[in-house]
Amino acid sequence: MKINTVFIVISIFFAFGVLTTSLVSASTPYSLGTLPSVPTIRFSGGVMPGHILYPFRVAREKIYIVFAPGASKCLQRVGIAGQRLQAARELLQLEHTSLAFKTLLKGHQYLAESVYQFQEEKLDSSLKVSLHDALESYRTTVIEKKPQFSEKEQAVLDKLLAENEALQTHLGN
């Protein structure tokens, strides 16, 4: 009986968070290139890393990824990576370098997962162009913004750039 009550309270809290996040967010899309038409999660800069509602946004994204079929799952990840890239740019403008750094790393992780899924599931080759564009956009931004980070973070970003290049090679030309 007590477990059911706890579960109901947690469910209501989660639903309220998702609803609040949906109401606070605008529908400004961030793109890394041309993607096939697939429903995507769109947020404005209002709910960025560090925002009190951000954990609800992340939970919502993860739910969308879990329930997305095949290629849609890959595109969801690419879209989220694009949002992370945009958020990192905005965070750097606000001089939140530590948060921007973590956001760049997480976005890159989503791209890597997309590339591996593309290879493992042998998804439609039209996704390959979108993945290449996304990886190139990430590479360009990291190179451009790298001087704004500490030496230690720059060393990690160098590894990220090397991994980015390996992902592009793994994806094939």
CA 160, 61, 170 angle in degrees (round to 5)?
35
Percent of the chain with pLDDT over 70: 78
pLDDT for position 108: 94
Rounded distance, CA 114 to CA 50, Å?
A: 25
Q: pLDDT-derived band of residue 26, with 50, 70 and 90 as boundaries?
A: very low
* pTM above threshold 0.85: no
Closest C-alpha among 46, 58, 60 to residue 18: 60
Contact of 25 with 47, CB cutoff 8 Å: yes
- At 49-93, the pLDDT tens digits run 888 888 888 898 899 888 888 788 888 999 999 999 999 999 999
